[in-house]
Structure 1
């Protein structure tokens, strides 16, 4: 609820200052519903304005061809892949000096069910906290992702904002 209201307030304030095109780029899967709720709350209040809001998730723009190149042995799915090969590769591309490769965990994929349960099964998450290994990450994969996803996101912004 806090994130939803924060997004609502930010959009209202941007609109109050004359901003008419807003893009929210989600980089954390679990935030998606709260971002959308915040946008919806703001949009209901600003309905009479000419504001246009785009919410997108970078992983939704990754093409099958890029996934096949980055994951030659198969894509484990975004739920497990979160903060593993994709994002580590991007960091290796953009900020290689910040990546401490010796600390990248090399564990098998987490073995959990396709549901959530309380109390949580702590044993489903490896001690490293990583749900799948990021050892296959590379700067070259990061460059490929940046170019393909960045280009496609740019085209989406041009299409939706007519820029």
Structure 2
């Protein structure tokens, strides 16, 4: 045994607590509760939970919600969920100060959702694409530090 943390199935999985941006904290520190993996949610529940996490400044955790939808949902919806996960990770990296990775993932996520037909599930695809490209440009230009909660996008079209 190599002493690595393992989950109930024996897969390597760090048991270290994490902060709101998903950074590992020392063992014993208070962290943010991690998202359970493999949760199957309706598209509406996915968007609601991800928006709650984004608004709380926890885009890393929102990305895990999108990843669950991507892996458990219908294949035709995968591009939307994958793109949204990439946008959340891009915001995570930007908020951590990783301008190159943040901008790259924001642009990749924008390209991934851009072709999603008609704002599937009420997602504001054009608004998200504009938000991601604008934030990527600011991050690359060395703009002010990114506050994940303040920069959180609105996922759905206004009713």
If the length of structure 1 is used for normalisation, what is the TM-score?
0.29
Q: Which structure has the higher relative contact order (CA within 8 Å, separation 6+)?
A: 1
Larger strand proportion, structure 1 or 2? 1
Give 1 or 2 for the bigger CA radius of gyration: 1
What TM-score results when the alignment is normalised by the length of structure 2?
0.29
